[in-house]
Amino acid sequence: MKKILTSSLLVGVFTLSSFAYDADQAKKLESFYSGFTQKACANSKLFIKADEVMKMLRDKTKVTLLDVRTEGEHDIISIGLKNSIYIPMRELFKKENLEKLPTNEPILIVCHSGTRALLAAAGLKQIGIKNVRVVKGGLASLALANNTKNAPLK
């Protein structure tokens, strides 16, 4: 009897685990990520260098800086520009927060180092928001690029 119960349990576990993912979602993701070839990534316009961002800010180019860092990170260092929006990554895809994003200008996404910004950009692109770019190196690279030559004029 124990062998039958154990065998049934094992078959049930393996059967359930083989169907443990959403095939439709996997197909959508496959379609989205299939374009991420080495050549496509190397030629990608998704990333923007911190020096370019600083030049855009200095030239008063219409852009929005989207800060997706955690509340704790934001409390310590925040981006105090009028064209910046702070939405933590964990809240970014809520309807009310997506409605805050501009549709008529580039959105430059920043986090501490660029990793979360890349995830945010990929997600925003998946839902149809195309005007996003990732600040390469994140806030750390912006801090290094912020010097008397590059800093926005007041």
Map out the domains of the chain as residue ranges: 2-34, 43-145
Tokens standing for 93? Answer: 């895809």
Instruction: Please indicate whether residue 101 or residue 19 has the higher confidence score (pLDDT).
Output: 101
What mean pLDDT comes out for the span 26-51?
79
Instruction: Name the average pLDDT for the chain.
Output: 84
By mean pLDDT, which of 7-11, 44-48, 139-143 is the weakest?
7-11
Quickly state the pLDDT bin for 43 (edges 50, 70, 90). Answer: low
CA distance 112 to 65: 13
Does the domain at residues 43-145 carry the CATH identifier 3.40.250.10?
Answer: yes
CA distance 126 to 28: 9
Q: Is 144 helix (H, G, I), strand (E, B) or coil?
A: helix
Q: What integer pLDDT is reported at residue 92 of this predicted model?
A: 96
pTM equals 0.75
% of the chain exceeding 90 in pLDDT = 52
* Torsional sign, CA 54, 55, 58, 64: negative
Q: Amino acid letter at 48?
A: I
